[in-house]
Amino acid sequence: AQSVTQLGSHVSVSEGALVLLRCNYSSSVPPYLFWYVQYPNQGLQLLLKYTTGATLVKGINGFEAEFKKSETSFHLTKPSAHMSDAAEYFCAVANSGGYQKVTFGTGTKLQVIP
Amino acid sequence: DAGITQSPRYKITETGRQVTLMCHQTWSHSYMFWYRQDLGHGLRLIYYSAAADITDKGEVPDGYVVSRSKTENFPLTLESATRSQTSVYFCASTSGTGNGNTIYFGEGSWLTVV
């Protein structure tokens, strides 16, 4: 079985400050890991993903995440928050098991304070 | 470039009525999914489909029915709506040519059961 835990349902940062959203996963096989972003009244869109290879993954809008197998983590970071980053962020895991099944975390709502 | 579209976007219905949420994708993706999003639960998989005429239950299938007679369409039916089915429903699709593929989401259908 696979699972995802996102620490903190709400995170507030000041504009220009570091953004750090935490994600820990559980998987019995090598995982594929994703971060999705959801803006108000919209569907989810992919920010970045880790499949194989380089463990530091860069995504859109200046976000990046690092896959740390020893810590079973895939935390999302951005050096400097913008007002436009205010949204809900979902971490997700998929197993390399031969069919598509993705498990999503419960989401972290990011507030950016001017 | 229509992508994946859902209809209706907003629906209010009464308890006991049948409701169908439509989903159409223009990419010829093999896999399609229905998720529901509820506060504190993130996204939970209702049903998924690997191809036309192949469907399978997800995490929370009770009270829902799906069909997939054509690759591009994946309607979700609530046979007898209940208040607990008030939620935001997201249709999604992916090519399924290998694990770790990006899942693309529709913009969601807001359903209220009164």
pLDDT tens-digit series, residues B18-53: 999 999 999 989 999 999 999 888 899 999 998 999
pLDDT tens-digit series, residues B73-84: 999 999 999 999
pLDDT at A99 over 70: no
> Residue A55 has which token pair?
């463990």
**φ, ψ of residue B90 in degrees (nearest 5):** -120, 130
What is the spatial distance between Cα B2 and Cα A99, in angstroms, rounded to a whole number? 26
pLDDT tens-digit series, residues B57-66: 988 999 999 9
Mean pLDDT to the nearest integer, A73-94: 95
Mean pLDDT to the nearest integer, A31-36: 92
Q: Per the CB < 8 Å rule, is A100 touching B43?
A: no
Nearest-Cα distance to chain A for B26, in Å, is 17
Residues β-bridged to residue B105: B92
| Predicted pLDDT at B99 | 65
Q: Per the CB < 8 Å rule, is B105 touching A45?
A: yes
The answer to whether the beta carbons of residues B19 and B78 sit under 8 Å apart is yes
Tell me how crowded residue B59 is: count the other CB atoms within 10 A of its CB: 14
| Predicted pLDDT at A80 | 97
Helix or strand or coil: residue A69? helix
The answer to whether the beta carbons of residues B32 and B68 sit under 8 Å apart is yes
Mean pLDDT lowest among A9-13, A60-64, B93-97: B93-97
User: Looking at residue B73, what DSSP letter applies?
Assistant: B
| Predicted pLDDT at A53 | 86
Nearest-Cα distance to chain A for B41, in Å, is 5
Q: Most A CBs within 10 Å: which of B43, B44, B74, as the mutation test of the A interface?
A: B43
